[in-house]
Structure 1
């Protein structure tokens, strides 16, 4: 405990992660729990957090806590209104919500970001903005594009050190729904990894409107153009290809889990997009450190 000066909490709808940090922003300890917001009864977030910290650290009650993710949503602990893009790290810090925990320590919740792409059409995120600014600090770049693969994949544009715009793609969720609950995944045998089927999906994506192109997942199977065990890799290629063809840059960072980022990198290479994989945890922790510095005017 002598080496721990502050805590970071990444609290989403299904998962909970806590990081114990030293004064220099170096990770000392980490814990993960299946304790998402959906598992908290009667809004007893403080009690749930205290239970985890009592079990994990013991002596923590004097440590400030910085939180990000859906914990700051209307369904979370404290509703932290979105910061509006374009937004800088200092603006994001200023919009953070601070309050005192029941045991006397100070808590800070990062607000997330909204973006009005066209009048009255909005996009939102909570958590990825922290990773984005952490990546910017680590890479020391004023302008770049980052893709965050996942259930709701994000394409984010940094210009002159500010998050200027972003777009969400429901790629991961679409794959899950279509593969489990539609005719496209019905009655399939065990699936094998097939780079050939995945590349076929990438190459054929965008040729027709998506709801029409998706039906090729069925007809390729019926007419023997796909092996029965390769169908879902083709479907994955269609969806990821459709998403990546919306990019307006041929050079991107991929931020997130290694396996999914590697899949996106393969797709990028096929489409002539230069992709660099960045570690999501490193970006997140550095982003929270930058927000902490901005709040405390600590350069």
Structure 2
């Protein structure tokens, strides 16, 4: 029997719309092994999540049928295994876990799905997250700060605020999705030559995105800058990326922010922050997720 099978204590699963990640953990919350697959919610046949999960674990972990499983992400959404009710801001770990959903797996042990979080803005509109809340509580644990501001770059970038150990508010920005749609399906991105990395064009975009109060108008500059030779045709996507990120960062109120996520995308945000005189600190998204889940599991088991 391998060391993994001898010391595995529980499993952690981050199950999203497009991707699946599972982590084997020991009793001290040390990761023993992990597996990543393009098996998001939309790839699960007939919504049979138990069968899909068992197919991953079978042959990987000999004693998986005895291990509890703790899950987070879109697996707890309307499209997921169970539609788990959101916890509302302002929220701490104990409040979040009051909404956690527990159930028995078909092969015996208990599973727990961590809920997402909702926030109602001053206008009355709601915002939501699933999975990022775990990273944010993990971040607070890692940096040992009860009050902080954080950005989680991604398809739908999240800006969150913590005050005295509670997530008090957050907002979503469709920066990543807009970049994808605009660069693929509009006149701004179609017919471009192979692109090069251009920090000059990116920073130009950041500055112009920061200054504009009319983003949909300023976006057209991705075309006119080419026509008047202000940027090269092979720099357009870097300019467009900078423009969208710069405009997103207009919402920041403080001069220090934690960047949580993948290193490559966070590096772009870090360059933008530096240009805008915003101090930023990068922390790995995986590190934050595992730290957050470890802490939440401890609170669950103590309760």
Alignment-derived partner of residue 58 in structure 2: 54
Counterpart check, 1:291 vs 2:293: no
What are the ranges of 5 or more consecutive residues in structure 1 without an aligned counterpart? none
Counterpart check, 1:116 vs 2:120: yes
Q: Helix, strand or coil: the match of 1:118? A: coil
Query: Is the 8 Å Cα contact of residues 92 and 291 (structure 1) preserved in structure 2?
Result: no
Alignment-derived partner of residue 273 in structure 1: 278
Counterpart check, 1:239 vs 2:244: yes
Query: Is the 8 Å Cα contact of residues 268 and 275 (structure 1) preserved in structure 2?
Result: yes
After superposition, residues 150-299 of structure 1 pair within 5 angstroms as 150-205=154-209, 206-297=211-302
Alignment-derived partner of residue 82 in structure 1: 86
- CA deviation after TM superposition for structure 1 residue 120, in Å: 3.3
**Which 4+ runs in 1 deviate beyond 4 A?**
none
Q: Within 2, Cα distance between the matches of 1:40 and 1:188?
A: 36
Q: Helix, strand or coil: the match of 1:173? A: helix
Q: Within 2, Cα distance between the matches of 1:142 and 1:33?
A: 34
Q: Within 2, Cα distance between the matches of 1:139 and 1:242?
A: 27
Query: Is the 8 Å Cα contact of residues 198 and 235 (structure 1) preserved in structure 2?
Result: yes
Q: Helix, strand or coil: the match of 2:121? A: strand
Q: Helix, strand or coil: the match of 1:262? A: helix
Q: Say which of 133, 139, 145 aligns to 2:143.
A: 139
Alignment-derived partner of residue 3 in structure 1: 7
Q: Helix, strand or coil: the match of 1:146? A: strand
Query: Is the 8 Å Cα contact of residues 94 and 295 (structure 1) preserved in structure 2?
Result: no
Q: Within 1, Cα distance between the matches of 2:45 and 2:156?
A: 26
Query: Is the 8 Å Cα contact of residues 212 and 247 (structure 2) preserved in structure 1?
Result: no
Alignment-derived partner of residue 37 in structure 1: 41
- CA deviation after TM superposition for structure 1 residue 151, in Å: 0.3
Q: Within 2, Cα distance between the matches of 1:49 and 1:130?
A: 21
- CA deviation after TM superposition for structure 1 residue 249, in Å: 1.2
Alignment-derived partner of residue 24 in structure 2: 20
Query: Is the 8 Å Cα contact of residues 14 and 73 (structure 2) preserved in structure 1?
Result: yes
Query: Is the 8 Å Cα contact of residues 90 and 294 (structure 1) preserved in structure 2?
Result: yes
Q: Within 1, Cα distance between the matches of 2:157 and 2:72?
A: 18
**TM-score normalised over the length of structure 2:** 0.97
Q: Within 1, Cα distance between the matches of 2:61 and 2:300?
A: 25
- CA deviation after TM superposition for structure 1 residue 69, in Å: 0.3
- CA deviation after TM superposition for structure 1 residue 32, in Å: 0.7
After superposition, residues 98-113 of structure 1 pair within 5 angstroms as 98-113=102-117
Q: Helix, strand or coil: the match of 1:186? A: coil
- CA deviation after TM superposition for structure 1 residue 119, in Å: 5.0
Counterpart check, 1:130 vs 2:134: yes
- CA deviation after TM superposition for structure 1 residue 155, in Å: 0.2
Q: Within 1, Cα distance between the matches of 2:87 and 2:149?
A: 20
What are the ranges of 5 or more consecutive residues in structure 2 without an aligned counterpart? none
Q: Say which of 91, 95, 110 aligns to 1:91.
A: 95
